[in-house]
Structure 1
C-alpha cells in the first residue's frame, strides 16, 4: 500500500512530465499545500525550496568576501601556520604571494600533521604541500558550482572579480547550507548560548536573541516595544534584509551580518563603539 508522501511525489512527477506545472510558483504552491496537509515536514519543505532557489542564486550571493577570508602567506613558517589554523578554526585556506590578488593555491590544515609527524629534517616548503586552486567568477550559478565540486572533489574555490583579482571564496558547505540550512561544527557555539564573547572586544550574537536578554548582558536599554529580537532591530536599522558581510552602526554598537539567507538573518558579530564613533554613527543615521 502506497504512502501519502509517495502518492504526492508521483503526482508532482506526472505534473512535471505532462508540463501541467508551467512556473516555479505553481510548483511551490503544490509543495506548500503538501506541507499544510502534513504530507511534508517543515524541514523537507525547506530543503525542497532551497534546492529550487540554488538554481537561481549566484556565487556572489553567498561567498565569503575578500576582507573576511583568512589567507596564508606562501612564506609563512609552520609555527605561524599553526597559530592561524587554531585561531580561525578553518580546515582550508587560500595561499597568497605578493598580495591577496596573487593566489597561489589552497592549503589543507591536515597537511601540517604530516610535517610535524616527521623528523622535520627537510625545511617546510609551502609550494610542495599546497593544492592547486579552483578559480570561478562571481556570476557562476550555485547548482553548477555544486556539480563541479562533486566531480572535482574540491571543497573550496577562489572567487575572482572582473579584473582577475580575488573577490572572495566559497566552500561546498556554503552551497549545501543554502539547501539544508546552517551546518554547525565544533567551532560554532550552542544554540542555547545567545551571546558569545570573542577576541578583541567582539561578540557573536544570534539574531534570535531576545532584546531583553541583550539589554541585560550589555547593560543597555534598546527599545523592546516594536521588535522582540536583536535581528529585528538590525533589519529595521538597515531598512532592508541585509546580506552577509553588510554592517551598520547604531545604539552604540557596530553590527555585522555573519550569516544570512534570503529569508532572515542568522548570526551577527558586534562590538561596542567608542563615544566618538557613536556620535559619528548617530550623525550619519540622522542625515
Structure 2
C-alpha cells in the first residue's frame, strides 16, 4: 500500500488507478458477508406468486433475477430469470412461475470474495444465496456486486436510481441512511474511528442499536452519542433506522492541571 501511496504522490499513478490497485489488493481479504445484500433488503417472490404480483415486482425493482421461496425466505427453492419469465408469455400455454425456476447457488458467509468471484464465473451463474452457520438465508451476492468491489459502481439503463445514503446539509450536519457504511461516513466527515475497538456492526443503524438497551418502537426518535458523533434518529420503521441526522461531537475541554 505504501508503494501505491508514493506512486500517487509522485504523479506516476492516477487516483482512479490507485483506487483500483487498492481494491484488487483488498479483494481477497473480504468475504461474501461483507459485500452481500442483507436478507431484509432482498427482493424475493413466493413460489405461488401470480402474474400480477410477479410483474409488479419486476416493474418496481428493475431486477433481472429473483430468489423464489417456499415457506419463507430461509426456504429458497430457486431463481427466476426476468427475461425467461417475460418471454414465457409469448407461448400459447405459458408455464407457471414455479416451472421456470433455475437451481439456486448457495455459499457460506465466510467464503472469500475472490474465490466466490472465480467460482461464479466458472459456473456461469450471476447470483449466489449467502447462508449462515445454521443454514438460514443471510443475503445474496451478484456477480455485479463483486465486480463493483474492484472497479466501483456499475450502472446501466435498467438500474433503478440509487438514493444517496450520505448527504451533507447546509448547517454542517449530515443526513445519513441507517444502512450507510460507517467507514465511508467517517471518511466523508473526516473523522477517525478507533482502530483498537472491536465492532460487530458496519452501518450507522448498527451503531445506534449497539448503544440502546432496548429496541425502540417504530416512530420513535432516539438519540445517541458514540464514536465522536451525535446521532439523532429521524425515521425508524420495522425496527430499522431509516434516516438520522449526524454531527460531530464537540471535543471536551482539557482539564487544567492544578
- Taking structure 1 as the reference length, what is the TM-score of the superposition? 0.62
Q: Hey, what's the Cα distance between the residues in 2 that align with 1:55 and 1:143?
A: 5
* Alpha-carbon spacing, 1:40–1:143, altered in 2? closer, same or farther (3 Å): same
**Is the contact between residue 105 and residue 128 of structure 2 (CA under 8 Å) also seen in structure 1?**
yes
1:77 paired residue number? 50
Question: What SS class does the counterpart of residue 117 from structure 1 fall into?
Answer: coil
Question: Which range is displaced more, 165-174 or 243-252?
Answer: 243-252
In structure 2, do the counterparts of structure 1 residues 68 and 245 end up closer, same or farther at CA, with 3 Å as the change threshold?
Answer: farther
Query: For the structure 1 residues 189 and 66, does the alpha-carbon distance in structure 2 shift closer, same or farther, using more than 3 Å as the test?
Result: closer
The answer as to 2:33 corresponding to 1:60 is: yes
Aligned match for 2:169, one of 199, 205, 211: 211
- Note the C-alpha offset of 1:105: 0.9
User: Matched residues in 1 for 2:65 and 2:204: separation?
Assistant: 20
Aligned residue number for residue 165 of structure 1: 136
- The 2-side partners of 1:69 and 1:111 are apart by 20
Aligned residue among 253, 268, 273 for 2:234: 253
Matched, 1:102 2:83: no
Question: Closer, same or farther in 2 for the Cα pair 1:81/1:244, shift >3 Å?
Answer: farther
Q: 1:90 to 1:244 in 2, by over 3 A?
A: farther
Kindly indicate whether the alpha-carbon contact (under 8 Å) linking 1:135 and 1:160 is maintained by their aligned counterparts in 2: yes
Structure 2 unaligned spans of 5+: 177-181, 209-221, 223-230, 246-258
Structure 1 residue ranges without an equivalent (≥5)? 1-27, 191-203, 213-222, 257-268, 274-287
Q: Decide whether aligned partners of structure 1 residues 94 and 189 sit closer, same or farther in structure 2, where only a CA change above 3 A counts.
A: closer
Q: State the distance in 2 between where 1:142 and 1:255 align.
A: 32
Deviation per residue, 1:144-194 (Å, 9 max, x gap): 00001111111100011111111111111111111111223333438xxxx
Distance in 2 (alpha carbons) for counterparts of 1:71 and 1:88: 10
Matched residues in 2 for 1:106 and 1:57: separation?
25
SS at match of 2:138: strand
Q: 1:50-74, CA deviations, whole angstroms, 9 ceiling, x for partnerless residues?
A: 0111101111111111111111111
Measured against aligned partners, the alpha-carbon deviations of 1:204-256 in whole angstroms (never above 9, x if no partner) come to 3342x3312xxxxxxxxxx52xx5x5459x658xx789735845465451389
Match of 2:125 in 1: 154
Q: Per the alignment, in what secondary structure is the counterpart of residue 164 of structure 2?
A: strand
Decide which of 151, 154, 175 is 1:180's aligned counterpart: 151
Q: Secondary structure of 1:110's match?
A: helix
The corresponding residue for 1:189 is 161
Q: Matches of 1:96 and 1:87 in 2, distance apart?
A: 19
- Aligned partners of 2:77 and 2:104 also within 8 Å: yes
Please name the residue that 2:214 is paired with.
none
Q: Report the TM-score when normalising by structure 2.
A: 0.69
CA distance in 2, matches of 1:70, 1:164: 19
Whether contact under 8 Å (2:64, 2:83) holds in the other structure is yes
State the Cα deviation string for residues 87-128 of structure 1 (Å, max 9, x = none). 112111111001111111111111122122223x24x32232
CA distance in 1, matches of 2:125, 2:83: 15
Distance 1:30 1:101 in 2: 45
**Who is 1:33 aligned against?**
6
**Compared CA separation, residues 29 and 63, structure 1 to 2 (3 A):** same
